[in-house]
Structure 1
Amino acid sequence: MILSAIKLRNLPRANNRKNTKSIVMHSSPHKARDESHKPAVSHPYVGNVPISILSDSYKATHFLQYPQAKEMVAYGEFRHGFNKDKNDSRLVSYGIRYLIENYISKQWTESDVDKAFLFSGTHMAPNYTEFPFPRDLLLKFVRENDGYFPVKIEALPEGTCVHARTPVYQITASEEYTPLCTYLETLLTMLWYPTTVATLSRRVRDIVEDSFERTVDEGRSSQLVRSRLHDFGFRGCTSVEQSIIGGCAHLLNFVGTDTMSAAYYAQYALNNGKPVGQSIPASEHSVMTSWPTELLALENLIENFGSGIFACVMDSYDYGKALAQLLPAIASKQIGKGGCIVLRPDSGDPIEAVLQALHAADKVFGSTINSKGYKELRGCGVIQGDGMDLYSIERVCKALEAKGFSAANVSFGMGGGLLQKVNRDTMSFATKLNFISYGDGRCMDVMKQPVTDEGKFSLPGKLAVKYVNGIPTVFPQDSGEVAPEENLFKVVYDKRPVPGVFDSFEVIRERVAYQWTKLPRTADNISASLRKKVEFQRKEKASHCHVRGFGEGDSNGTSMNNGWIPAIAPTAMATVTTSAIGGVAGGGGGWWGG
C-alpha cells in the first residue's frame, strides 16, 4: 500500500539525535559546538579534498530532515533532448563507469569523516545555529562496511540509447542508511556531462552520415565517416579531468581527437590497451609564423610529412593569397610525395572559407567525379574547426553539396563547442526521490510536481526499463510487467564495487552505433501503468500540499484523505490517454514533452 497523505506529527524523524553528542544543532547560536568525539586530525585540509566533502553543503543536513524510513529510492533522468529539440529526444547514456570507479567505489576512512566534521564546524553562516553533520552515521559505515558508501546503484549499460524521460540510474538506501540516499546526488548528477557530449557528438555524426549518403559512393558506411569530427577541446576545458570525461564521450562516435588525455584513458583504462583515438601531424599559427615565409614553413611540412597525411593552417596572414599563391608553389612537390594535405581555415565565414579552399585545391590538385556526381579532390582535403557547432556543420555540408563537392572532402573540428559549450540544462538533467518506505511499514510513491513548471515533474515509484517494440520504455517496478532479465537496469554498485559489470569501450561503441540508428527520433516511452500512477499522483496533489484533512478517512484505507492508496492506481480508473497528461517524450509538450 502507498501513503497518500501523511500525518507528519506522527512520523519520527530520521536519525533521532538522542545520545548523539557528536551531531548537534543548538537552538541558540551562542552555544559552543559539542566536539566530545575529537577528530584524529589537526587540520581539515591536507593537500586533497576528502571524499566526504564531495557533496552539496545542504546534503549534510538532510539526515535531520527526512522522516524515519526503512528504504528510500531516487533516480536520475534527462527531461528533454539536446537543446530542447522536440523533433529528436534521443540521447546516449554514458559516464556512470567513471563516477563509480573513481568516486563512488572509493573507501572512506575515519580521517575523511573527521576532516568533513571539522570543516562543517566552520561552515555555518555567522550568528546562526551550528552546521549539522552526520558524523556518527558516516563513521558507522566506515567501520561496519569497510568504508564503502552503503547504497545500491542500478544503471543503464554504458552507451545505451534512450529517449528523454527514461531513467538512467536508480539509487536505493535502506535501514539506518536511508538518510544517505541522495547524498551522492551531487556526484551522480555529473553524468549529465558525458551523456550530453556523447549525444552532441552522435548528432553531428548523423549530419555527416546523411551528407555522405547523398554525396559519397559508399554512403554512410564509408570508413571516412569515423574521422569527420575531430576533438580540439582539451584547451577549452576547465580541468584535465573534464577533458578525459568529455573526450571519451566524443570517442564513442568518432576516432578523431587531439585530446590525448581522453584517447589515453579510453585506450588503457577502458579498452584493454586497444587504440581508440587517432590524430595526424598538423601545424599551428606559431609554427607558420616562426619561419621567414609561409612558403618555407609549408615546404618543411611537406618534407617531413608529405608522403602521409598532414594539416596546415592557412590564415596566418592572408588566407586568400595563401590559397592562390602557396598551393601552386608547392603542388608538384606535394604531388610527388604522394600523400594528402589538409587545408585548415581558422577565421572568416566558415562556409565561404571552406568553399574557397575547395575551389583553390581543385584548380591545383584536380578532382574526380564519383558515381553520385560529386567532386572528390586528389590528395587534398579541408578541415573547418573555427567556431563549429551542430548547426553550422550542417550548413557547411549543405553548402559544399550545392557546389558539387562530396562530403568526403571536408572534416570538422570542434573545441569548446564540443567539450565546454554545454551545461546541465542542455538536456535538463535531474535526480529526484521517487519512493519511500516508512519506519512503520507504510510506503509512498514520491512525485515532484510543481505547478509553476510542469517540465520539472518527476516520475513516481520504483522504476524499471525494458524494450517494448524496440523502445526502452519506463514501467513501475512493482507492476509485474518487467521480468528481472528484461530490466535494462543493471546493478553497478551494491554497498561496495560489483566486479565485471562494465563493457569494454569497443563494445560500448558498437552498442551506440547499433542502437542509435534503430531508435526513432521521438517515441512514447512511458508505459500505461506508469501513466496511471502519474495521473493518480497529480489528482492527489492537493492532499500533499495542505495540512487540513491529513489522516482523515475510513480505517480500511479506501478514502483518498485517509493516507492510503494502492501501489498502482485502481484498475477502475479510466485509462489515461497520451493527450491527458501531456504528450510523448520529445514532442507534444506537457510534463514529459520537450
Structure 2
Amino acid sequence: MAAQDFNFLLATDSYKITHYKQYPPNVSKIYSYFECRRKKGSQFSECVFFGLQYLLKKYLLGQVITEDKIQEAKLFYQMHFKQSVFDEESWRKVLEKHNGRLPIRIKAVPEGWIVPRGNVLFTVENTDPDFYWLTNYIETMLVQMWYPITVATISREFKKILAKHLKATSGSLEGLDLKLHDFGYRGVSSQESAALGGAAHLVNFCSTDTVAGLLMAQRYYSCPMAGFSIPAAEHSTIISWGRSREKEAFERVLDQFSSGPVSVVSDSYDIFHACKHIWGDELKERVMERSQDSCLVIRPDSGDPAETLIEVIKILGERFGCSLNSVGFKVLPSYLRIIQGDGIDLVSVEEILTKLSDEGWSAENVFFGCGSSLLQKLNRDTLSCAFKCSYVETEGKGMDVYKQPVTDPSKGSKRGRLLLRRNSDGLLETIERGAGKPEEDLLVTVYENGSLVQDYSLEEIRKNARLRDEDVNPTLHNQDQELLRNHILNGVH
C-alpha cells in the first residue's frame, strides 16, 4: 500500500471502533502508557527503546483524516460488523476542528535509551476533550513498537556477549561494531519487518546485508549509510561450477575481488577438505598474497556451529600458522578470518566464543551472521510489551485507574499519570499517581497534534545505546561464566 493510500481509520483492531460507546458519560481525557513488563526469571532485564519515530513519521504526521477516508471506513465497517457502529460524526469533527490532524500528545524516552523493564517507555493522551477515545484507538499501531524494541534489545545482548569475549581474548573492543552481521532479510515476514528489524540492529552494529534497514535509517533517522557489507559468495555461485571444479569457483572469487575483503561459503561439499586442501594447499599462496584490508573470510554453513568452527580454525591454524596477541590468545594471519552464520543465537554465540577461548583462540578470528534469531524468532511476549490506560478525567475530575487480575499479578498495571526519573542512585524509576516533580521527568514530548516535536538521528540513538562499563567484563571467574551460560540456556530453553 502506497503511503498516500494509507487509511489511518482502518489501522486498528476492528473492535476498537465500538469503544466510543463504552466509556463512561462525560469522559474528557484518556491517558495510557506503554511498557515492557518486568517478568521474574526472564532472560532480559532491560530493553532498548527504538522505532517510535518511524511509526510517527510514516503514519501519524499531518492530516491523516479526509472525507474520502471516512467514507471508505464507514462502508468497510458496515460490511464488517453487519450493523452501523462506526462513529462517522466524531471523525468528521476531527476533520473539521483539527483539519484531520490527530489531537494527541505522545511523550517518550529518548530513542536508544537502555531502560530497565517495568518502567514507562511512552505515554499517550488526547489534547482535546471531545476526542478522548483517540488515545486507545491508536494502541494497535503503537504497540507494534514491540518489534523494533525487541530486535534492538536482542542485538544489544549479542553485543554484550561479543564485547565480553573480545575484550577478554584481545585486550580491546576494536572491530566490535562489525562482529554481528544481519543475515535476516529473507527470513522475515515482510519488507516493513525487514526495515524495522534491520534498522533496530543498526542501533548496535554497522554490519548488515538488509538493505531495507539501511533505507529506513536513511529516510527516517538522517543516516546516509548506517551499515556496511563485503562481496560474498553463496552456494549457487559455487555449485554452479560443479563439484569437481570447487577450486576454480573459489579462485574465480579471489580473481574478481582481488582488493577489499571477500567472504566465500566453503561447505558446499566438505568444509574440512576445502579448508585443508583447497584454501590451505592449492590456493594457499593466493590467500597469503592478500592483506588485512583484503582478507579472505571463510564461511562454514552447516553442522554443529561450535564443533565445526573449532575444527575449521584448527585446520586453518595448522595450514597458515598463527601468532599470539598481547593477552596471549592465538590469532590467524590478518589476511584470513572466519564468519559463522548458521545456527547463530545468543546461546550458540556464547558457546562458540567460550570454546574458542578455552582452546586458546581470540574472538578476533571470527565474525558472526544472524538471521531468524535476530529478526524473526521473537514476539510481543519476549519482552512482555503492554499498553494500558492508567488515568481518566470525567467532568473535570481525575481518577487513577488500573487492572489487577487475581489470576496473574504480573499483569497488574500502573496507576495514574506517570513520570520517569533517575533516583538518588542514578537508576531509572517510574513514579505513579501523578507524584514526582515535573522538572525531573525524563519523558520527552515527541508528537503533538499531528506534528513531530522531536527528531532523533541514528547517530544520537547509537550514543544513547552504547555499552556501559558493566556490560563489558573480561574478568569473570569460571564460576561466573558458568552461571551466565546457565542463565542464557534457561532463558531460551
Moved more, 188-197 or 337-346: 337-346
1:133 to 86, 104, 108: 86
CA distance in 2, matches of 1:295, 1:161: 48
2:176 to 221, 225, 228: 225
**Within the alignment, does 1:408 sit opposite 2:364 as a pair?**
yes
Partner letter of residue 36 of structure 2?
F
2:476 counterpart residue number: none
2:463 to 510, 521, 529: 510
Shift in alpha-carbon separation, 1:265–1:163, aligned structure 2, 3 A: same
1:296 is paired with a residue whose SS is: helix
1:231-380 → structure 2 map (5 Å cutoff): 231-273=182-224, 275-292=225-242, 293-327=245-279, 328-338=281-291, 339-378=294-333, 379-380=335-336
1:283-307 deviation line (CA, Å, top 9, x unaligned): 0000001114111111011112243
2:452 counterpart residue number: 498
Partner letter of residue 249 of structure 1?
A
What stretches of structure 2 of length at least 5 have no aligned partner? Answer: 474-486, 488-493
**Within the alignment, does 1:110 sit opposite 2:67 as a pair?**
yes
**Within the alignment, does 1:420 sit opposite 2:371 as a pair?**
no
CA distance in 2, matches of 1:147, 1:272: 31
CA distance in 1, matches of 2:337, 2:382: 33
CA distance in 1, matches of 2:372, 2:157: 17
C-alpha contact (below 8 Å) 2:202/2:227 kept by paired residues: yes
C-alpha contact (below 8 Å) 2:160/2:472 kept by paired residues: no
1:63-85 deviation line (CA, Å, top 9, x unaligned): 0001131211000111137xx65
2:57 to 94, 101, 106: 101
1:210 counterpart residue number: 164
1:80 counterpart residue number: 38
Partner letter of residue 323 of structure 1?
C
**Within the alignment, does 1:154 sit opposite 2:107 as a pair?**
yes
Give the Å deviation of 1:165: 1.0
Partner letter of residue 317 of structure 1?
Y
CA distance in 2, matches of 1:402, 1:99: 45
Partner letter of residue 165 of structure 1?
G
Shift in alpha-carbon separation, 1:512–1:180, aligned structure 2, 3 A: same
1:294-353 deviation line (CA, Å, top 9, x unaligned): 111110111122432111111111222212211121110121233311111111000011
2:121 counterpart residue number: 168
**Within the alignment, does 1:63 sit opposite 2:35 as a pair?**
no
Shift in alpha-carbon separation, 1:517–1:79, aligned structure 2, 3 A: farther
1:364 is paired with a residue whose SS is: helix
Moved more, 285-294 or 423-432: 285-294
Partner letter of residue 159 of structure 1?
G
Larger helix proportion of the pair: 2
C-alpha contact (below 8 Å) 1:350/1:384 kept by paired residues: yes
Partner letter of residue 326 of structure 2?
S
What stretches of structure 1 of length at least 5 have no aligned partner? Answer: 1-44, 522-586, 588-594
Shift in alpha-carbon separation, 1:49–1:122, aligned structure 2, 3 A: farther
CA distance in 2, matches of 1:341, 1:109: 56
CA distance in 2, matches of 1:139, 1:517: 54
Provide the TM-score with structure 1 as the length reference. 0.75
CA distance in 2, matches of 1:282, 1:488: 44
C-alpha contact (below 8 Å) 1:123/1:131 kept by paired residues: no
CA distance in 2, matches of 1:517, 1:110: 55
1:461 to 416, 421, 426: 416
1:123 is paired with a residue whose SS is: helix
Shift in alpha-carbon separation, 1:202–1:369, aligned structure 2, 3 A: same
Shift in alpha-carbon separation, 1:268–1:389, aligned structure 2, 3 A: same
Partner letter of residue 177 of structure 1?
F
1:205-241 deviation line (CA, Å, top 9, x unaligned): 00000001210032xx32x111110001110111111
Shift in alpha-carbon separation, 1:188–1:87, aligned structure 2, 3 A: closer
Shift in alpha-carbon separation, 1:346–1:279, aligned structure 2, 3 A: same
CA distance in 2, matches of 1:424, 1:86: 14
C-alpha contact (below 8 Å) 1:311/1:341 kept by paired residues: yes
Partner letter of residue 437 of structure 2?
V
C-alpha contact (below 8 Å) 1:160/1:511 kept by paired residues: yes
* Structure number with larger C-alpha Rg: 1
CA distance in 2, matches of 1:519, 1:55: 39
Give the Å deviation of 1:267: 3.1
CA distance in 1, matches of 2:197, 2:408: 30
List structure 1 runs of 4+ shifted beyond 3 angstroms. Answer: 45-49, 84-88, 516-521
CA distance in 2, matches of 1:403, 1:242: 39
Shift in alpha-carbon separation, 1:87–1:257, aligned structure 2, 3 A: closer
CA distance in 2, matches of 1:131, 1:416: 43
C-alpha contact (below 8 Å) 1:306/1:334 kept by paired residues: no
CA distance in 1, matches of 2:49, 2:438: 22
C-alpha contact (below 8 Å) 1:161/1:519 kept by paired residues: no
Provide the TM-score with structure 2 as the length reference. 0.90
1:398 counterpart residue number: 354
Shift in alpha-carbon separation, 1:269–1:433, aligned structure 2, 3 A: closer
C-alpha contact (below 8 Å) 1:162/1:471 kept by paired residues: no
CA distance in 2, matches of 1:450, 1:509: 38
CA distance in 2, matches of 1:104, 1:391: 39
1:1-20 → structure 2 map (5 Å cutoff): none
CA distance in 2, matches of 1:201, 1:520: 15
C-alpha contact (below 8 Å) 2:94/2:100 kept by paired residues: yes
CA distance in 2, matches of 1:390, 1:111: 48
Count of residue pairs the alignment pairs up: 463
Partner letter of residue 73 of structure 1?
Y
Partner letter of residue 497 of structure 1?
S
Give the Å deviation of 1:433: 0.5
Moved more, 470-479 or 312-321: 470-479
1:441-452 → structure 2 map (5 Å cutoff): 441-452=396-407
Superposition CA RMSD, Å: 2.1
Give the Å deviation of 1:488: 1.2
Partner letter of residue 437 of structure 1?
E
Shift in alpha-carbon separation, 1:443–1:309, aligned structure 2, 3 A: same
Give the Å deviation of 1:498: 3.0
Shift in alpha-carbon separation, 1:210–1:443, aligned structure 2, 3 A: same
